[in-house]
Chain A
Amino acid sequence: NAGVTQTPKFQVLKTGQSMTLQCAQDMNHNSMYWYRQDPGMGLRLIYYSASEGTTDKGEVPNGYNVSRLNKREFSLRLESAAPSQTSVYFCASSYDRVRGETQYFGPGTRLLVL
């Protein structure tokens, strides 16, 4: 059981470039989440997917798009990267959105936008 995996681990982008962060879970969880973590700001929810085929905005969705490709995979896309999107990105999953309190996190993707 790998749990929640994320690729890439680290990425450097130039302003205006695009990229997709990949996330997969093998725990048969229904709900998946994308967070960003910045110093002193804690973890902030970008988007979440309560179940396959649905996505909803979180606290800081501007500049991002998501795709719930199937039950296992949830990707985060930056269409035109900005320096303000320099952060550590975490994907998480939980069995059920209603009982989603038990969220399991991936190892993170460190993104630097120059």
Chain B
Amino acid sequence: QKEVEQDPGPLSVPEGAIVSLNCTYSNSAFQYFMWYRQYSRKGPELLMYTYSSGNKEDGRFTAQVDKSSKYISLFIRDSQPSDSATYLCAMSAGAAGNKLTFGGGTRVLVKP
């Protein structure tokens, strides 16, 4: 079983809809949680970063972390065709050995 699980999709939504993405993990030592966006044939770019449990909002993006359930989510409001990409969750234990563990990524398609 992988340490971080993420549905590969594709997730297809109409423009303007809310995109809901999530990851589950098994390592309770993880305390830093990130979401990266990766366009085709490009490197990942950091979207959101959250420490421990809670919510974080940045424009149209909201990240949620529920450490008790080992579950993290990313919501994209008012989705645009330019949001079409693969979204990767990543997490680390922090100072204990700060190597990121990535999910496999979810491919999102926003149709005009």
Contact = CB atoms under 8 A, between A and B. Distances in A.
Interface of A: 4, 33, 40-45, 48, 58-59, 90, 92, 97-108
Interface of B: 4, 6, 8, 32, 34, 36, 41-46, 49, 88, 90, 92, 94-95, 98-100, 102-105
Interface of A is mostly: loop
Nearest to B2: A42
A98 B43 contact: no
Contacts of B4: 42
A58 B32 CA distance: 18
B94 A45 contact: no
A105 B34 contact: no
Among A4, A41, A43, A98, residue most surrounded by chain B Cβ atoms (within 10 Å): A43
